[in-house]
């Protein structure tokens, strides 16, 4: 005898089928877009279903496994999420992000030992989002633990490594906004703003001459591989100079190679910065056209910090 199904049951079944069929008939780009839209909308059940299908079809794509793992985690399917995160790692997903996510799953499961184990792996691999560590609700059980501050500190160091390296701080005495004049006679020479950029890895000079349009910038950075400071100067006249050197007797001591000049000579330059106090710096430049046997003064400036 033919069994008559309730209308509501039939409609419910019909409403579920088109999602699967229509998804399978879409182009890969459209499938990815639909899965991403569900993920962004935090429709975790739909996102998990769609990313599961995509990951099975394209197991070589780490992002698909990672998003499937995140969706399963939000659904509370922790053990399956851990398995999928391992597949993301195997497919080549960045360890710093996957290890962080694995740590957050263990934190949710209440396994603090494994949570800290994987957080340590995350920061060792370069994880650098201290603000997420401090705000992620999944990590709430970890933040009162005595092990947490060290993890947070390492994430901060990963974010701005140059801010914590002593060598990168050797030229900080030049930072600030300055009125610049000649050391002899105190004739105004220009103004300069010296600032740390790119996470403190670069000290940028912004020079504007007094009384003429000449302007330029220099980029100063510590080259850890060569264990030396380097400066690259560029200006609005098309000039550029490369210096190298380091801190010597408290002064930044820069040199150039012999640079060919339009008249056929070769110019070697020696540029020094002397800290004369918290609010005063001397910049002294010399040149030699005989390979360093004799030197002549190119300029001698005093920087006075603007109040």
| Assigned domain for 148 exists | yes
For residue 218, the domain's CATH number is 2.40.128.20
Same domain (yes/no): 124, 221: no
Tokens standing for residue 289? 């056209």
Q: Cα(172)–Cα(300) distance, rounded to whole angstroms?
A: 20
Are residues 101 and 62 part of one domain? yes
Q: By CB neighbour count within 10 A (0-12 exposed, 13-18 middle, 19+ buried), where does 185 fall?
A: exposed
At 129 the pLDDT is 97
Tokens of 109: 């499961």
How many domains is the chain partitioned into structurally? 2
Within this chain, do residues 132 and 115 fall inside the same structural domain, yes or no? Answer: yes
Whether 14 is in a domain gets the answer yes
pLDDT tens, position by position, for the chain (307 residues)? 434 444 333 333 333 334 456 776 778 889 999 999 999 999 999 999 999 999 999 999 999 999 999 999 999 999 999 999 999 999 999 999 999 999 999 999 999 999 999 999 999 999 999 999 999 999 999 999 999 999 999 999 999 999 899 999 999 999 999 999 999 999 999 999 999 999 899 999 999 999 999 999 999 999 999 999 999 999 999 999 999 999 999 999 999 999 999 999 999 999 999 999 999 999 999 999 999 999 999 999 999 999 8
**pLDDT for 20:** 59
Does 249 lie in the same domain as 106?
no
Q: Are 21 and 101 in a shared domain?
A: yes
- Spatial distance between the Cα atoms of 100 and 97, rounded to a whole number of angstroms: 5
- Tokens encoding 74: 């939000």
Query: Is residue 52 helix, strand or coil?
Result: helix
* Residue 142 sits in the same domain as residue 173: no
Residue 81 belongs to domain with CATH number:
1.25.40.10
Phi–psi pair at 300, nearest 5 degrees = -145, 105
- Sign of the C-alpha dihedral computed for residues 271, 274, 278 and 280 taken in this order: negative
Sign of CA dihedral 58, 61, 64, 68: positive
Same domain, 150 and 11: yes
Q: Which domain holds residue 35?
A: 7-160
- Rounded to whole angstroms, the Cα distance separating 183 from 201 reads 30
The predicted structure's pLDDT at residue 18: 40
Look at residue 120 and tell me if it is in a domain: yes
Final residue of a domain: which of 119, 136, 160? 160
Answer yes or no: do 135 and 185 share one domain: no
| Closest of 165, 159, 163, 92 to residue 132, by C-alpha | 159
Q: How many angstroms separate the most distant Cα atoms in the chain?
A: 113
Residues 139 and 92 in one domain: yes
DSSP conformation class of 215: E
Q: What angle do CA 79, 84, 86 make, to 5 degrees?
A: 100
Q: What pLDDT does residue 25 have?
A: 75
Query: Do 101 and 200 belong to one domain?
Result: no
Among 51, 136, 42, residue whose Cα is nearest residue 87: 51
Distance of alpha carbon 180 from alpha carbon 216, whole angstroms: 14
């Amino acid at each position: 005898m033919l069994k008559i199904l309730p209308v509501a049951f039939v409609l419910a079944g019909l409403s579920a089928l088109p999602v699967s069929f229509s998804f399978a008939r879409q182009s890969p780009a459209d499938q990815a877009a639909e899965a991403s839209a569900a993920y962004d909308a935090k429709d975790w059940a739909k996102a998990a279903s769609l990313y599961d299908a995509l990951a099975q079809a394209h197991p070589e794509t780490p992002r698909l496994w990672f998003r499937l793992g995140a969706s399963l985690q939000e659904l509370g399917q922790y053990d399956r999420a851990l398995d999928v995160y391992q597949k993301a790692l195997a497919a080549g997903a960045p360890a710093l992000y996957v290890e962080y996510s694995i740590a957050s799953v263990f934190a949710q499961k209440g396994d603090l030992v494994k949570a800290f184990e994987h957080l340590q792996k995350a920061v060792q691999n370069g994880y650098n989002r201290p603000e997420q560590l401090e705000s992620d609700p999944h990590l709430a059980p970890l933040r009162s633990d005595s092990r947490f501050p060290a993890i947070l500190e390492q994430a901060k160091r990963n974010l701005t490594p140059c801010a914590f390296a002593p060598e990168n701080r050797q030229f900080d005495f030049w930072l600030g906004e300055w009125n610049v004049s000649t050391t002899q006679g105190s004739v105004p020479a220009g103004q300069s703003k010296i600032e740390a950029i790119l996470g403190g890895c670069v000290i940028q000079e912004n020079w504007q001459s007094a009384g003429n349009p000449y302007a330029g910038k220099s980029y100063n950075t510590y080259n850890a591989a060569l264990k030396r400071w380097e400066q690259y100067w560029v200006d609005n006249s098309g000039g550029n100079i490369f210096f190298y050197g380091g801190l010597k007797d408290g002064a930044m001591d820069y040199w150039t190679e012999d640079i060919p000049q339009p008249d056929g000579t070769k110019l070697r330059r020696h540029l020094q910065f002397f800290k004369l106090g918290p609010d005063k710096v001397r910049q002294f430049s010399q040149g030699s056209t005989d390979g360093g046997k004799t030197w002549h003064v190119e300029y001698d400036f005093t920087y006075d910090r603007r109040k």
